[in-house]
Amino acid sequence: MKTFIIVYGAAVLLLMGIAEYRGWSLMSYQEQKGVPKTLRENPGSYRSSYARTLHK
């Protein structure tokens, strides 16, 4: 039981440390690459991954 507690506890603490240090988040988002610099002149040309969610 003792080894399990130590290993499991260390794993939890390690994960928490990494998550907080690297600034992890539980929020959902989409990453895109290759957005051209020209977007600043024409913001409408951006194809967003997020369609508007239906409101309540």
Partner 1 sequence: MADPSLTAPPSTPVSPRVKTLKCSGCGNPLTVRGMERTEAVACEACGSVIDLTDENLRILSTFQSKIKHKPLIPLGSRGKVRGDLFEVIGYLRRAVTVEGEDYEWSEYLLFNPYKGFRWLSEYNGHWNFIKTTTNIPKKKGDGVRYLDKTFLHFQSAESRVTYVLGEFYWKVQAGETCKFTDYIAPPLILSKEQTPQETDWSIGEYIEPETLWSAFRVTSPMPARIGVAPNQLSPYSGKVASLWKLIGYLFLAAVFIHLALFFFSQNKLVFENRFTFQQKDKGKAIVTEIFDIFGRPSNVVIKTAAAPLDNSWLFLNMALISEDGRAYDFGREISYYHGTEDGSAWTEGGFSDEATLPSIPSGRYYLRIEPESSAPMVNYHIRVYRDVPRWSFFFLALGALCILPILLIWRVARFEGKRWSESDHPGTVWMRIPDSTPEEEEGKEKPKGKVSR
Least distance from partner 1 to the Cβ atom of residue 18, Å: 9
The burial class, CB within 10 Å (0-12 / 13-18 / 19+), for 41 is exposed
Residues of this chain that interact with partner 1 (CB under 8 A) are 1-2, 5-6, 8-9, 12-13, 15-17, 19-37, 39-40, 43-44, 46, 48-50, 52-53, 55-56
Number of C-alpha atoms within 13 angstroms, CB side, residue 8? 5
Q: How far is the CB of 47 from partner 1 (least distance, A)?
A: 10
Rounded CA separation 11/23 (Å): 18
Write down the least CB distance from residue 23 to partner 1, Å: 3
